[in-house]
Structure formats: C-alpha cells, structure tokens
Structure 1
Amino acid sequence: MKVVFNSEHYAVVSYVAQHGYELVEKDSGRMMFIQGVQADHFHDAMRQVVTEQQGDSDEIDAFLSDYCEGATQPISFH
C-alpha cells in the first residue's frame, strides 16, 4: 500500500499486489476501488493530469471529482 496523492479533499492509495487503486473522497466519506484494466486507465489519466498541470493539487482534485462522480460508495467500518 502506498499513498500516491493526498489533499484536503481526496486521497489515492496504490495497492501494487492487487494491481489496484483506492480513491477516497474525504468530504463525503466515500471511496471506490479499481483494479486491472480500469486501474491502468486511471493511472494513465492521472499521469497525464499531473504532467499537464505540473502537479497542481487543485487540478488533480478536479480530475478526481470528475472521475469519482457517481461511482463512489459510502465508507463503512466493520
């Protein structure tokens, strides 16, 4: 597990062994987990945003907001 992005509004955690990413929307307490091909597409898109915006966290937050819209699930503790 490796935190690859962390801002006031979002966190992205990489799970290398599972070939996946966890995206956490902090404001709403929601998350999503993606694996496989979807994780590859996310990685490529995230890299493009970071490269084009030179790592600006507001732009990355905006990308994550669009990416997570409608797909996140409430975080629950067991």
Structure 2
Amino acid sequence: MKWELLLRTMQKRYKTMRDIHGSILKLETQLKARTETNKTKSPTHEVAPVGDISEEEFLKNLSHADFVEGLMRLAKKSSAPKIDSYS
C-alpha cells in the first residue's frame, strides 16, 4: 500500500515537472521572438517564433535579464504545488 501511494505521488510530481518544463520552453520561445524583434527594430508588433534555431544561437541571443524575468513571471503564475525535499 505504501509503495502504491509513493508511486502515485511520484507520478503526480513527474507530471507537474513536465508541465513546468513545457511552460519554460514556451516562455523561451516568446523571449526569443522578443529578442529578434529588438535586434531587427522592425515596426511590427508581433513576431512568429522561429523553430529551426539551435539552442546555442538561442542562448547567445537571449539576455540574462529577460530569461530571469520570464522565469520569475512563470514562478509567480505557477499553480503547481511545491515539492517537499526529504533531507
């Protein structure tokens, strides 16, 4: 019985972590689009996210402040329960 409860708890945590990871990837794409907009100084207000860019290029173009700001916004909006650490 304890193992089943532990297994269910771990499955819920894994699902929550997957959801957070998906949200971070979406946020990274939005930040990349904003960075590209700032680089080109185009008059358009909306930029389609680029899907064929390498991770290295993405990280080079992404400013640290934008990334941290986005993660903080994500953390504030996240309704995921906190994961307890067992030490």
Higher helix share: 2
Same topology, TM > 0.5: no
- Please report the TM-score for the alignment, with normalisation by the length of structure 2: 0.36
Q: Which structure would you say has the larger RCO, counting Cα contacts within 8 Å and 6 or more residues apart? A: 2
TM-score (norm 1): 0.39
Per residue, is there more strand in 1 or in 2? 1
Structure number with greater Rg is 2
